[in-house]
Amino acid sequence: MASIPVPKTDVNGTTAEGHPVQEYDVIIIGAGFSGIANLHRLREDGLKCHVFEAASDFGGVWYWNRYPGARVDSETPFYQLNIPAVYSTFNFSQRFPDHRELRRYMAHADRVLGLRKDVSFNAKVNSCEWNEKKSQWEVSTENGLRARARWLVLCTGLLHRTHLPEWEGLEKYRGLVCHSGAWEEGTSVRGKRVALIGAGATSVQIVQELGKEAEHLTVLLRRPSYCLPMGQRAWTAEEQDHFRAYYPALFAAGRNSAVGFPAPRLDKSVLSASPSEREAYLNSIWKAGGFQFLLRNYNDVLLDRESNKIIYDFWKTKVRQRLTDAEKQKLIAPDAMPYFFGTKRCPLEHDYYDVLNQANISVVDINASAHPIERFTERGIKLGNEAQDRPFDVIICATGFDSFTGSLTHMGLKNKDGVDIKEVWRDGVKTYLGMMMHGFPNAWMVYSPQAPTALSNGPTILECQTSLVCDMIQSLRAQGAKSIEPTRDAELEWKTAINAMVENTLYPYTNSWWQTANVPGKKAENQNYIGGINAYEAECREKMVGWKGWEVVADDEAAGQVRAML
């Protein structure tokens, strides 16, 4: 039978006694930005929804990431949901909010929208299976909750499952080892010897804080990050009250842009500008802060090697003006470009290079040709080409995440034939439009692989996908459909198309988590649709007309009810 809309006052996900398996229209997994957006929209559409969340509160990535310096590098007002009831009554204190403020924002959204009554917290999903006979998803959690629903929305996040390399002797180490994604708030490193493994965005933020506290901080890196100036500033409530009238126009412009920020790229090549003209323009977008140096740069930076090198050399000069230690310059801003500029995430920094200049900071190259990590010892780490191990009181692993797929492949998600998704994706990720998968009827992903995800402002792309998901569900219900899933040919066509997009760019020459290349044993492949959010949404909506690339199965009983109502 087709789902029947229920009054909003009756929408409640609380498990009732005597009903061990709860029935819903939609089950949502994850209560971060994506889960909140989908819950709000689907409830507005009159559907009975419930969210299962492994954490004890809202927040998603911002619930788990509490390490020193944890901060978003997408700027306000764009890093928030386009929900007037929420944004009209909340003020951010900074251009780039930290993890504490983002949790306050989530709590505010909960209070304003009344979200909590439809969420089960501390409910980690461990089984998610399709019941072919009932055309429903059956979900269970580690704490014994069970539920069924026709529609399933997976909002499990892009960077959730932490990745910790397998090092010899780790169990022997007697000091404190922690991953940045599982940091215990209140941990102090004052007066301690600290090792920080990794040099990505998380490491950059940690260095800025712990470099001012630790007795000595040693950064162990393979490749430096190309950091850009954050341009942090405080926002006053009065400024935001005046500015808020423009939010609808700004959000609309962001949604109709490539990456969620309405900043057009310069329609000119690097080599067509004179050196003086180029220098002046690059300085102007550098001073703007945030990602504007990337977004407003010349149009061939990611297409032409010579143009890319010119941009790298400009960046190197800027960094060396602040990072004046000659030995550290060789590792952090080397003469030879370690990888093409912009093909790996460029973190935003405030005083990272100034902190690195301090005498209590060491930077060590752990590549195989230099000082690779050989093993952990009782007191620290033994590096290659060194006679003794290095003693550390604390070792922090900023070693990243099992990106894109890690949260999906560890929740017991199985296709209609009972095959776990980790097996389905063993030889590579396969999706249609970065949102659905063959063999998984009525199941959608939001903030997902094979979409513009990693190259976009988070709230903008997830709201784009949320809108697509919710519109699809409403259309299917109106048509009396029982199930929908993409064809194998549609998946192959989509993967071929997104790979073709990057063939003539510089992206394929750099391995990173953008390509799931950071986890040993995991297939390294392109996971990004680089055409931009606006082009992506237009393409998805064109495919929805006539359900191109999908198999739709009608629900005869529901279709009869629809005809009777007409």
Q: Is the predicted pLDDT of residue 154 greater than 70, yes or no? A: yes
Contact by Cβ (8 Å): 180, 65: yes
Mean pLDDT in residue range 347-375: 98
Q: Is the predicted pLDDT of residue 11 greater than 70, yes or no? A: no
Contact by Cβ (8 Å): 90, 102: no
Cα–Cα distance, 517 to 455 (Å, whole number):
16
| 3-class SS of residue 463 | helix
Confidence of residue 8 (pLDDT cuts 50, 70, 90): very low
Cα–Cα distance, 162 to 487 (Å, whole number):
32
Cα–Cα distance, 502 to 526 (Å, whole number):
8
Report the chain's mean pLDDT, rounded to a whole number.
Answer: 94
Mean pLDDT in residue range 460-478: 98
Contacts of 351 (CB under 8 A, 6+ apart): 208
Tallying the residues shown for the chain, one arrives at 566
Summarised one tens digit per residue, pLDDT across range 91-134 is 999 999 999 999 999 999 999 999 999 999 999 999 999 999 99
| Model pLDDT, residue 491 | 98
Q: Is the predicted pLDDT of residue 336 greater than 60, yes or no? A: yes
Q: Under CATH, what is the fold of the domain 8-161+403-565?
A: FAD/NAD(P)-binding domain (3.50.50)
Q: Is the predicted pLDDT of residue 10 greater than 60, yes or no? A: no
Summarised one tens digit per residue, pLDDT across range 59-94 is 999 999 999 999 999 999 999 999 999 999 999 999
Confidence of residue 275 (pLDDT cuts 50, 70, 90): very high
Mean pLDDT in residue range 299-303: 98
Tell me which of 40-54, 278-292, 347-361, 544-558 is least confident: 544-558
Sheet holding 216-221, edge to edge: 176-179, 394-397, 193-197, 216-221, 361-365
Mean pLDDT in residue range 205-225: 98
| Model pLDDT, residue 565 | 38
In order, the DSSP letters of 241-292 are HHHGGGHHHHHHHHHTSSSSS--PPBSS-GGGS-HHHHHHHHHHHHHT-TTH
Mean pLDDT in residue range 250-266: 96
Q: Is the predicted pLDDT of residue 531 greater than 80, yes or no? A: yes
DSSP letter at 129 equals E
| Model pLDDT, residue 557 | 62
Paired with 128 in beta bridges are: 139, 413
Q: Is the predicted pLDDT of residue 462 greater than 50, yes or no? A: yes
Buried b (16+ CB within 10 A) or exposed e, 395-417: bbbbbbbbbbbbbbbbbebbbbe
| Model pLDDT, residue 558 | 53
Confidence of residue 160 (pLDDT cuts 50, 70, 90): confident
**CA 102, 140, 62 angle in degrees (round to 5)?**
10
Mean pLDDT in residue range 406-411: 94
Domain extent listing, the chain: 8-161+403-565
Tell me which of 7-21, 168-182, 466-480 is least confident: 7-21
Paired with 190 in beta bridges are: 214
| Model pLDDT, residue 20 | 85
In order, the DSSP letters of 496-550 are HHHHHHHTTSSGGG--SGGGT-SSTTSPP---B-TT-HHHHHHHHHHHHTTTTTE
Buried b (16+ CB within 10 A) or exposed e, 108-123: ebbebbebeebbbbeb
